[in-house]
Structure 1
Amino acid sequence: MKKRVLCYGDSNTWGFNAMNENVYGQRFPEEVRWTGRLQTLLGENWTVIEEGLCGRTTVFEDPLREGLNGLQYLGPCLATHNPLDYLILMLGTNDCKARFSALPKNIADGLGRLIVKAKQACVWRDQPQILVIAPPPIRKGNDTSEIGRDMGVCSEKSAMLSKEYRLWAEAEGCIFLDAASVAGMNDYDFMHMDDVSHERLAESIAGILKADLLEKE
């Protein structure tokens, strides 16, 4: 029976390509996105499900764009892809936007609500298995860039998420990955991963999932 992995995230899970002005805002091909690479690395005995949405937050309602509250959509999303063996959560970058006025702990607490809700959902083939990923920090260049006009100053806040996420993961018995250990944001808009980072992140996640499965066998 294939293992089913749901990847729930924002534009960096969707595959937003910001590497140069000519293709800004387009989507990396499936074979470049970390989700697609993860499918290849895990092989035919796994099903990797993409659920990335540009602008998605953990729990915040965006006053400028509707439908981006990750908490509200999580339940229907989990039910849609029932049954599940693993859930990967990588959110928080958009929560750092100045208009949400959220502290790093507030953002992490939002992620914590997603963890709790997911664990309580009747979608698990066995026990809930959640991989919490702290996204690569937004780089300082974003604070004064053109896109920074929308984001605001948020690089320092973003860099503090990993510590707070780790605490939630440990408290809830989740697997934790600090994406900054293997990936980073690009040199163009400073808040999206480049193709190399997609590759490295996929390799790291594949190793974690395979090791976790082997440990349980």
Structure 2
Amino acid sequence: MQTSITRKRIVCFGDSNTWGFNASNGERFPEEIRWTSELDRLLGEEYQIVEEGLSGRTAVMDDPLFEGLNGSTYIHPCLMSHSPLELVIIMLGTNDTKERFSLTSFNIAQGITRLALKAKQTLSGPNGQNPRVLVITPPPIGKEYVQTDVGKSMGKGCDDKSSHLESHLEELLAATDIDFLPTKGKVPMNNIDFMHLDEEGHKLLAKLVFNKIQSIL
């Protein structure tokens, strides 16, 4: 008789870099390349990774141009639908830098912190408890992005905002019981639009997240 394994579930809640956007062709990276799938492989049979990536997703902002991108309005039903959860991983902030939102880098960090606390307060953890939450700072946007096709949509100053996001997030999250993982200088963006991960970036991020999970779970 085969014994069933109860796998510990982890939700990865993010934007196009969690969805797996491939800037070289505008399509989605194959499953075996995405950092979420690589993380699933590294963690082994004990864990199950749930991909919850959406291109354009923000932490707390409603986008006037596109529907359904505000992470704050979706995270509660999302986490409850996948419960029970061992861990919630949040990696957002890149889209929040868009000029049309008029947010400072500190404002963006405030929004992500608010979102993380909302996730923490759900009863989506084991036995209806609060789940553990890990916030990852997305790698900074390269300054060259403004000269690419995405520059027109993103607007000005996105690289500067994203480069300062990590320090603000670290400061704000230090006063909470939410785990934090910086990526600046450890995981680069691609050399196409300078705001998405390439294949190597996905591998590096997966390994970084794996090591962090090993230390907190």
Q: Report which stretch shifted further, 110-119 or 124-133.
A: 124-133
Counterpart secondary structure, 1:142: helix
Correspondence 1:126-145 to 2 at 5 A = 127-145=130-148
1:131-188 residue CA offsets vs partner (Å, 9 max, x unmatched): 1101001100012222100001211111011011112221112221112242111000
CA contact (8 A) 2:59 2:93 kept: yes
Matched residue, 2:33: 32
Shift of the alpha carbon at 1:127?
A: 4.8
1:115 is aligned to: 116
Match of 1:199 among 193, 199, 203: 203
Distance 2:195 2:100 in 1: 17
State the 1:4 CA deviation.
Answer: 1.0
Matches within 5 A, 1:17-28: 17-18=22-23, 20=24, 23=25, 25-28=26-29
Question: CA separation in 2, counterparts of 1:180 and 1:30?
Answer: 25
Q: Distance in 2 between matches of 1:169 and 1:40?
A: 29
Secondary structure at the aligned position of 1:137 is classed as coil
Could you say if the C-alpha distance between residues 127 and 120 of structure 1 is closer, same or farther in structure 2, counting changes exceeding 3 Å?
Answer: closer
Computed over aligned residues only, the root mean square deviation of the Cα atoms, in angstroms, reads 1.1
Counterpart Cα distance in 1 of 2:185 and 2:177? 21
Partner of 1:175: 179
Counting matched residue pairs gives: 209
Does the 8 Å contact 1:182/1:197 carry over to 2? no
Query: 1:158 is matched by which residue type in structure 2?
Result: S
Is the partner of 2:181 in helix, strand or coil? strand
d(CA) in 1 for partners of 2:185, 2:133: 19
Runs of 4+ in 1 over 3 A off after TM superposition: none
Identity of aligned residues (%): 48
Shift of 1:96: 0.2
Answer yes or no: is the 8 Å Cα contact 2:122–2:130 preserved in 1. Answer: no
1:189 equivalent among 175, 188, 193: 193
User: If the length of structure 2 is used for normalisation, what is the TM-score?
Assistant: 0.93
Whole-angstrom distance in 2 between the partners of 1:43 and 1:210:
12
Long gaps (5+) in structure 2: 1-5
Say if 2:209 is the partner of 1:208. Answer: no
Contact 1:6 1:49 in 2 (8 A): yes
Distance in structure 2 (CA, Å) of the matches to 1:46 and 1:53: 22
Answering whether residue 65 of structure 2 is matched by residue 64 of structure 1, we say yes
| Counterpart for residue 43 of structure 2 | 42
Q: How high is the TM-score relative to the length of structure 1?
A: 0.93
1:89 aligns with 2:90: yes
Separation in 2 of the partners of 1:174 and 1:117?
11
